[in-house]
Structure 1
Amino acid sequence: MKNIQYTGQTLALLILLALKLSLVHAQTTWPEAPVMVNAKITSSGQLEITPSSTSSPKDFDFLAGKWAMHNKRLKTRLNNCTEWVEYESTDENFGTILNGLGNMDIFRTAFNQAGGMSYEGLTLRLFNPQTRLWSLYWVDSNSGTMDPPVIGSFEGNIGKFFCKDIFNGKPILVVFVWDKTDKDNPVWSQAFSPDNGVTWEWNLTNTSHRIK
């Protein structure tokens, strides 16, 4: 019986290890579907973004409330790094603003890769009723400077938002991906592309858990 029990425990540990490894792999390659959906680089080199047929000013209503968040951040970016740093944070979303065309929240964490004890971030999301596209703006206490907005829309429960930016002096594409399939445990991920969307490196992801 002890041998059987030991074998069962060993098998369980191996299964858990395999699941953990597959999760890490999924987070560095997810999503498997094409990233450049409703977005393309034109022949003149411009980033062209079109709204999905389901794009709506209500797409971020699910975020209203308070959240506990588990984050994973790639230690360094665009240099073949495979080491992830994990940390916790909280977020408070204030619901709709600007008569339903906006959404805003405050992110707080004790982890600060730039140094210091803690930092805060603010996200402002604005829906343009003419273009039917969302613009997502981020600013944090490390820089005090608002990043270029990522722009896009939701296709059902998956939202993809893009922008051009500069990283270490080189042009990149940035994508934010929201998965709100489980609205009490939504997943957000960020990736960079150094080659106009041919390849992507996922470098930051978090899962939010609604605080009841």
Structure 2
Amino acid sequence: MTALPVESAAVHDFDFLFGRWTVRHRRLLTRGVGADDWDAFDGTAFTEPRMGGISNIEQHDCPARGWRGVALRTLDLAVGDWSIYWISDRDGRLSPPVVGRFQGDGCRLEGPDADGGRPVVARYEWSRIGSGAPRWEQHFSYDAGATWELNWVMDFSRAAA
């Protein structure tokens, strides 16, 4: 099978994430009310490219909290934006995508979501991508982007071979 021709350098944006990781999670338990009740736990992740880099799959396993999830990332070659879709084994539903692009040593993506039935704007931010220890953060806005609340942080470190 011949690979599809891909001309955009953006196909390499997520190369930093390919492979196996241990992940330290910090998740805000009560969101949207100014709480400070963080839950910390460990998990694992595995990311691999598809279709010459214009998509990739990342699976997260969090046995300490009893869930697994998959991120599907796709690159729109016409405009250079990435879309990230999430599915969890808790409900099996594919979430609406967050959309954005890389600039410098990070990436910001935003899109509609829901938190406990409340509509929110979700923001995903990747940072430290060149460090070998990338960080992902999730923020929600309950007021259409006027203010943001950080509610999830994942710190990645390479898993032992």
The TM-score, its normalising length taken from structure 2, stands at: 0.89
C-alpha displacement at 1:64, in angstroms?
0.8
Which residue does 2:44 correspond to in 1? 90
**1:81 equivalent in alignment to 2:35:** yes
Task: Name the CA distance, whole Å, in 1 between partners of 2:125 and 2:9.
Answer: 15
Contact 2:75 2:83 in 1 (8 A): yes
Which residue does 1:158 correspond to in 2? 106
C-alpha displacement at 1:182, in angstroms?
4.0
Task: Name the CA distance, whole Å, in 1 between partners of 2:146 and 2:15.
Answer: 32
What SS does the aligned partner of 2:12 have?
A: coil
C-alpha displacement at 1:169, in angstroms?
3.5
Which protein shows a greater Rg?
Answer: 1
Task: Name the CA distance, whole Å, in 2 between partners of 1:79 and 1:206.
Answer: 21
Contact 1:55 1:155 in 2 (8 A): no
Contact 2:97 2:112 in 1 (8 A): no
The TM-score, its normalising length taken from structure 1, stands at: 0.68
Deviation track 1:5-61 (CA, whole Å, cap 9, x = no partner) reads xxxxxxxxxxxxxxxxxxxxxxxxxxxxxxxxxxxxxxxxxxxxxxxxx98121101
Deviation track 1:82-140 (CA, whole Å, cap 9, x = no partner) reads 1100000000112x21122111111001133xxxxx21111110001012100001101
**1:60 equivalent in alignment to 2:19:** no
What SS does the aligned partner of 1:205 have?
A: strand
Q: Output the amino acid matched with 1:105.
A: E
**Structure in which a larger fraction of residues adopt helix:** 1
RMSD (Å), alpha carbons: 1.6
Task: Name the CA distance, whole Å, in 1 between partners of 2:29 and 2:9.
Answer: 34
Which residue does 1:174 correspond to in 2? 122
Which residue does 1:105 correspond to in 2? 58
Deviation track 1:135-169 (CA, whole Å, cap 9, x = no partner) reads 00110111101111110001111100000123334
Contact 1:137 1:150 in 2 (8 A): yes
Structure 1: 5+ residue stretches without partners:
1-53, 113-117
Which residue does 1:191 correspond to in 2? 139
Q: Output the amino acid matched with 2:143.
A: D
Task: Name the CA distance, whole Å, in 2 between partners of 1:141 and 1:170.
Answer: 21
Structure 2: 5+ residue stretches without partners:
1-7
Contact 1:55 1:154 in 2 (8 A): no
Q: Output the amino acid matched with 1:156.
A: G
Contact 1:178 1:186 in 2 (8 A): yes
Q: Output the amino acid matched with 1:99.
A: G
Task: Name the CA distance, whole Å, in 1 between partners of 2:58 and 2:152.
Answer: 18
Contact 2:45 2:58 in 1 (8 A): yes
**Structure in which a larger fraction of residues adopt strand:** 2
Task: Name the CA distance, whole Å, in 2 between partners of 1:86 and 1:182.
Answer: 24
- The percentage of counterpart residues that share the same residue type is 29
Q: Output the amino acid matched with 1:107.
A: H
Contact 2:11 2:52 in 1 (8 A): no
